[in-house]
């Protein structure tokens, strides 16, 4: 499939997600012991999460600098973020971890933030798709 042009809203959403994810990754790594305690999660899982968020965030910042990208990649980001938000809420109330009240606030708060970014990316992606496929062809 052809690439689509990244319109300003989508680029902004990708930059915001990239910056927030990178910052969250750095904070998670810096506060990994505290996070592990508050989330009731294994410390190595928290460190892995921090590394993932930092790498993901930096990748989005690079992607946001491009003029065009694959719609499959962009849909993957939107769907992945929606699944991340849903999984965070499910994890918060599962028996897999035992979060304290601050840990629960962190999990639910980041799920709400990710959902907001997901919605912004979804709207930006739809506009970019519409603009790309309805723009007159250049001869």
Question: Residue 135 pLDDT more than 70?
Answer: no
pLDDT at position 139? 47
Domain extent at residue 24? 4-134
Mean per-residue pLDDT, 12-19: 98
Could you tell me the pLDDT band of residue 134, with boundaries at 50, 70 and 90?
A: confident
Question: Residue 111 pLDDT more than 50?
Answer: yes
Question: Residue 119 pLDDT more than 60?
Answer: yes
Please state, in angstroms and rounded to a whole number, the distance separating the CA atoms of residues 66 and 129.
16
Question: Residue 62 pLDDT more than 50?
Answer: yes
pLDDT at position 138? 56
Phi-psi region of 45 (alpha: psi -120 to 50; beta: other; left: phi over 0): alpha
Give residue-wise pLDDT tens across range 70-96.
Answer: 999 999 999 999 999 999 999 999 999
- Bigger pLDDT: 138 or 95? 95
- How far is residue 71 CA from its own chain's centroid? 16
Mean per-residue pLDDT, 127-135: 87
Question: Residue 137 pLDDT more than 90?
Answer: no
Q: CA 4, 6, 86, 22: dihedral to nearest 10 degrees?
A: 130
Mean per-residue pLDDT, 94-121: 96
Work out how many domains the chain is built from and give that number: 1
- The answer to whether residue 139 sits within a structural domain is no
pTM of the predicted protein model: 0.90
Rg from Cα positions in the chain: 17
Q: Which of 50, 63, 41, 64 is nearest to 21 (CA)?
A: 50
- The answer to whether residue 111 sits within a structural domain is yes
């Amino acid at each position: 499939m052809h690439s689509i042009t990244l319109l300003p809203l989508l680029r902004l959403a990708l930059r915001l997600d990239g910056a927030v994810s990178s910052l969250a990754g750095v904070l998670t790594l810096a506060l990994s012991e505290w996070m592990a305690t508050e989330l009731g999660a294994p410390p190595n899982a928290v460190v892995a999460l921090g590394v993932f968020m930092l790498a993901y965030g930096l990748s989005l910042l690079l992607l946001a600098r491009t003029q065009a990208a694959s719609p499959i990649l962009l849909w993957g980001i939107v769907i992945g973020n929606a699944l991340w938000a849903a999984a965070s809420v499910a994890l918060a109330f599962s028996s897999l971890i035992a979060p304290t009240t601050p840990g629960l606030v962190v999990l639910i708060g980041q799920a709400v933030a990710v959902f907001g970014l997901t919605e912004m990316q979804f709207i930006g992606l739809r506009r970019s798709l519409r603009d790309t496929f309805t723009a007159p062809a250049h001869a």
